[in-house]
Structure 1
Amino acid sequence: MSRGLWFVAGAGAGVYAMIRGRRAAEALTVDGLRDRVGAAVVGARMFRDEVAQGKAEAETDLRQRTGLGPHGAHELGVAASSTNQRGRSTHEVDPLHQDKEGTS
């Protein structure tokens, strides 16, 4: 029983080492290195796209929380510009807007 067990263990270790050696040799060929570099580029591109998507989602969420519109203006507290009788520009500030009068 002991000899058979050691024979199977040795054969299994030999097959494992042969497979690992073949994979290592294939990885170090020109085609293998090209595949690895290509996979790294694809991985970096996917990571960049995921980060950009997360950034866009976070920005949208923050804009909704803070009440900012798509271009940075307050949705509820925007100062409305108009002209008075003399043709000068005046600012009417929404009462909900917290800044000083005349600023936006």
Structure 2
Amino acid sequence: MRRGFWFAAGAGAGIYAMNRARRLRESLTVEGLRDRAQALSLGARMFRDEVAQAQVDKEVELRERLGLAPPVRADRQLTAGSAPEPTPITSSRQRGTN
């Protein structure tokens, strides 16, 4: 009974180690590294979009609570569910002030 248990445990550990080594080898190929970079890029983009949406939602919530009118952007109002349009950042030299 003991020998059978240790044989099965050794075989299982060997199979697990071989699978881990294969996955590591595949992840270090050019395709594997490219997939990881694409996944990181997608994750960063999704995080950025979620932060922008949460910012809009919170701004709308605060404006409603304070009784302020929503800001008008171009030809539409800012509402929950619409992403804000980015505003360009200019330095004091570009604005003409010092």
Structure 1: 4+ residue segments shifted above 3 A: none
Which has more helix, going by share of residues? Answer: 2
Is 1:61 paired with 2:77? Answer: no
Q: Could you list the runs of 5+ residues in structure 2 that have no partner in the other structure? A: 73-98
Is 1:17 paired with 2:17? Answer: yes
* Higher RCO (C-alpha 8 Å, min separation 6): 2
Counterparts of 1:66 and 1:21 in 2: how far apart (Å)? 58
Q: Which SS does the other structure have where 2:61 is aligned?
A: helix
Identity of paired residues, percent? 62
Letter in 1 for 2:7: F
- Aligned CA RMSD, in angstroms, stands at 1.1
Q: Could you list the runs of 5+ residues in structure 1 that have no partner in the other structure? A: 73-104
Larger Cα-atom Rg: 1
Letter in 2 for 1:59: E
Q: Report the count of equivalent residues.
A: 72
Counterparts of 2:14 and 2:50 in 1: how far apart (Å)? 42
Counterparts of 2:32 and 2:71 in 1: how far apart (Å)? 48
